[in-house]
Every structure is written in structure tokens, then in C-alpha cells.
Amino acid sequence: MKAKKLVALAFALAVLAALAAGRSGDEPRKFLILIDYRHNDLPGVALAKDAALFFLGSEVRDEDEVALMLFSDVRNFQVIEEFTTDHDKVRRGLKAMIDVPGPAGIDGTGMALMTEPPPPQNPPAAAPAEWSGDAALRASDPSVKNTQPLFANSAVSRVSPMRDRVYLDQMKDLAELLTEVPGRKHVIYFSLGFPAFRYQDDTTFREKFDAMAAGFSAAQAPVYTVNTLGHRQDSLAIAAKVDFLLGKFAGLSGGRYYGHIEKYKEIAKDLGKIAGS
């Protein structure tokens, strides 16, 4: 089963390299938007989609190439859009992704499948002040408001550590395949990540995590991790917080960690500056 998943992953990711292969001269800026459905919850996925749409509309240039992927227990890695300058296709792909996250087997809703585009929604709400950037993107959505984060209801305790180790192996495979894409790739990774105790208590997990993060660095694919828990993490116990590992992933890969997805304006602007000209 694992071999079949890896073959499927390699086949899907080969598409990412196909468009970029054989180019000469200056490379355009490249952004890979990766939404982690396994390690996420309902408001986290919703916020990730809104933040990605805002980034596309505010910082991405016409000549930039953007790819869109997701990871779920049902489909593993799924390429929604190859690296493309047709940013409208990426927007449509984001809007067509359902909001239902989570590991399969917890509550039966772990199915990150493509579906028909949802009804038109208002664009992300503007931040209350330019200096703060703090605004709940979907504060008016009753399905998101006051929803408890995944780790707070102990759902993470029912996720097999073995499956998380396999996930790290698959992420490392993604990094290796990104080496086939010329130039520097900026990976924008939306996730709840892993609680600190995973890294501290599991030697095998720790070794695989470090190797995975180093793989993205070797691929010239720094990872900019965005914590989709945001301020909802504030009430969690220290061992359940995800800052440590999302920050470590970003640091080892050469990227940057963003702790509060609510500051989507500041994050988008900073990503645009980092990517440069």
C-alpha cells in the first residue's frame, strides 16, 4: 500500500516539474501553496483558503508561477494546479476545495476532495488597522466562529504516530521531487502542524522531521509555515502548541514561520518582499 502511495505521489508531482523543465535564462518567481488537510480543522482550512486568495490578489505578479496542492488521508498529495501564470485557475482551484479537513477515521469527514465551486463569497475582510492586521477572515461565518481547534478536543491523540511518520516520508519525497523544478520555489504551507510532544517523545519522528525539513532546504524550496490555529492556540497547554515544530520546519528549510493567520495582510506583504524581484 505504501509503495502504491509513493508511486502515485511521484506521478502527481512529476506534473509540477514538467512545465518548468528545460527553461533557460531568468526564472520567474515560483510559489507553491500547500494546504495540509490532515493536520487542520474546519476554521483552519477556511482561513487558509481565504489567506491564499488574498495573497494571490495582492502580491502575486502576472509573470509569477503558482502551483496549488493539498494533502489528505484520502488522496495523499493532490496537485490541483501545476505551476502556472494563469492565476485565475489557481483561484478557481482554491474555491473548489471543500472545507472539510481531518484525518480519516476520526469522525468520517477526512475527505479533502474536489467538489463544485461553493456559492460566491465576500472577499476576506479588511484588517481593522494597517498596523495590526488582526481580523478574523470569516468572523461572520457561524460554522467557524467559536469552533474548538483540533488539538483542544484531543482528536490528535487518535491519529496513529505511524501515519504521521509516513506523512513525513511523503513530505520528504515532495521535497526531493521539487529539486526537478528549476530555480527557487517558495512553499507556503498552511497547517496546524504537530504538537511539541510528538517531536520530544518520539525519536523516529524527530529524525524523520529533521530530514524532511532539510530536504526542502536542499531543493531550494524554503517553507513559509502559516499556523492555521492562530490565536486559538493561546488557550492550549504548552505541550500541545504547534509553534515549536512549525517554526523549526521553517527554520531548517530556510523559510519563515508565521504564528497568526489572522495577520494575513502582513504575511502576504512579507512573502512578497522575501520573494523579491
Q: Which 3-state string (H, E, C) describes the chain?
A: CHHHHHHHHHHHHHHHHHHHCCCCCCCCCEEEEEEECCCCCHHHHHHHHHHHHHHHHHCCCCCCEEEEEEEECCCEEEEEEEEECCHHHHHHHHHHECCCCCCCCCCCCCCCCECCCCCCCCCCCCCCCCCCCCCCCCCCCCCCCCCCCCHHHCHHHHCCHHHHHHHHHHHHHHHHHHCCCCCCEEEEEEECCCCHHHHHHCHHHHHHHHHHHHHHHHCCCCEEEEECCHHHHHHCCHHHCCHHHHHHHHHHHCCEEECCHHHHHHHHHHHHHHHCC
Strand 65-72 and strand 223-227: the pairing is: unpaired
Give the pLDDT band (50/70/90) at residue 237.
confident
Please count the residues of the chain: 277
Distance CA 85, CA 23 (A): 15
| Residue 274: pLDDT over 60 | yes
Find out whether 61 and 29 touch, Cβ atoms under 8 Å: yes
Query: What's the domain range around 84?
Result: 2-10+28-108+156-275
pLDDT at 25 over 70: no
How many domains is the chain built from?
1
Going from the C-alpha of 135 to that of each of 44, 231, 247, the distances in angstroms are: 14, 11, 22
Query: 102 lies in a domain?
Result: yes
Q: Which of 12 and 167 is assigned the larger pLDDT?
A: 167
Report the alpha-carbon distance of residue 9 to residue 79 in Å, rounded.
Answer: 9
What is the C-alpha separation between 49 and 199, in angstroms, rounded? 28
Query: Could you tell me if residue 126 is inside a domain?
Result: no
* Mean of pLDDT over the chain: 77
What's the whole-number mean pLDDT along residues 26-51? 92
pLDDT at 73: 79
Q: Give φ, ψ of 136 to 5 degrees.
A: -75, 115
pLDDT band at 232 (very low <50, low <70, confident <90, very high): confident
CB neighbour list of residue 200: distance below 8 Å, 6 or more residues apart: 206, 239
154 compared with 221, residue with greater pLDDT: 221
Q: Domain for residue 171, yes or no?
A: yes
Whether residue 133 has pLDDT greater than 80: no
**Residue 111: pLDDT above 80?**
no
How do strand 223-227 and strand 185-191 relate by DSSP bridges? parallel
17 occurs within a structural domain:
no
Banded model confidence at residue 240, pLDDT cuts 50, 70, 90: confident
Does 238 fall in a domain? yes
221, burial (CB in 10 Å: exposed 0-12, middle 13-18, buried 19+): buried
Residues β-bridged to residue 223: 187
Read off the pLDDT of residues 146-156 as tens digits, 9 standing for 90 and up: 334 444 333 44
pLDDT at residue 273 in the model: 94
- CATH number, domain of 204, equals 3.40.50.410
Share of the chain above pLDDT 90, in %: 51
Give the pLDDT mean for 213-227.
Answer: 97
Write down the pLDDT at residue 53.
Answer: 97
Is 43 within a domain? yes
Model confidence over 53-103: pLDDT tens digits? 999 999 999 999 999 999 987 778 999 999 999 999 999 999 998 776 654
205 has a pLDDT exceeding 70 = yes
Confidence of residue 134 (pLDDT cuts 50, 70, 90): very low
Q: Which amino acid is located at 181 in the chain? A: V
The yes-or-no verdict on residue 17 having pLDDT over 60 is no
